[in-house]
Structure 1
Amino acid sequence: MDQVDLKSDQLVEAEDGLYLQQLASGENMSVQYVLFEPGAKAPMHKHPHEQAGYILQGTPTFRIGEEKEEFTLGPHQSYDLPGETYHEVENEGDVPVRNIDIFSPSRGHPAWKDE
């Protein structure tokens, strides 16, 4: 069994103000910690992985599909996205967004940047 501690010096900046740390990665799924500073954005993208997540702090705005249907979530809410779904996420608030993402099948770190 591997053990990974969440450490600020292990965060990888995937976009301006958007940081990721791979927490666990198995053959069929992976878990990432995500930090969006205020104003940070994960641009519109898609990937073959199913994605589920849980908001720890902040209020991220998700825009889903080519229509960019908008959803704003808050702490202690979860979400799921089927694979191949276009989406973007933005922190329009004044508080950092912190969340946990789970991908199936396993996803590299930070693989979405290259997709």
Structure 2
Amino acid sequence: MFVHNALIPMEDLGDGIRRKVLAHSDNMMSVEVYFEKGAIGAMHSHPHEQLTYVLSGVFEFTIGNEKRVVKAGDTMYKEPEIEHGCVCIDEGVLIDTFTPMRRDFCKYPI
């Protein structure tokens, strides 16, 4: 499956956060998430495994009881059901990969 980024609509999530749902199947999903400086990814959990790659920017991430500052090139793993969230210190983009895919992110059934 080829996905051309320029053809994917940007979804405004409010409060300085936007996203694009990229390629996905029932087993996995890739998502770009854009953060303005100061935007907050609220603490939450879900039953999916998640990898987050910092494409650009600087973020303070909390995963479980651990808090760290991460920047472009860093990657984080989030096990299922672990509480996690972030604060954007310097405007940036995250690439999230989920397994299985996040049906709640899709506007249309696959």
Q: Which TM-score band (shorter chain)?
A: 0.7 to 0.9
| 1:45 paired to 2:44 | yes
Q: Which of 86, 89, 95 does residue 86 from structure 2 map onto?
A: 89
Q: How far does residue 9 in structure 1 lie from its aligned partner after superposition?
A: 7.2
Which residues of structure 1 form unaligned runs of 5+?
none
1:110 matched to 2:98: no
Task: Give distance in 2, aligned partners of 1:6 and 1:109.
Answer: 20
**How do 1:1-115 residues align onto structure 2 when only pairs under 5 Å count?**
1=1, 3-7=2-6, 10-65=9-64, 67=65, 69-93=66-90, 96-108=91-103, 110=105
Aligned residues with identical type, % of pairs: 32
Alignment check: 8 A CA contact 1:20 1:110 kept: no
SS in 2 for 1:73: strand
TM-score scaled to structure 1, two decimals? 0.82
Distance 1:78 1:28, change over 3 A: same
Instruction: Indicate conservation of the 8 Å contact 2:26/2:100, yes or no.
Output: yes
Partners of 2:43 and 2:16 lie apart in 1 by 16
Q: CA RMSD in A?
A: 1.9
- Runs (5+) with no aligned partner, structure 2: none
Return the TM-score normalized by structure 2: 0.86
Give deviations 1:8-60, integer Å, cap 9, x for gaps. 97111223111111011111000001111111111010000000021111111
| 1:11 and 1:21 in contact (8 A); partners too | yes
Deviations 1:52-85 (A, max 9, x none): 02111111111122x4x21111111111110100
What code does the residue aligned with 1:63 have?
T
Aligned residues: 106
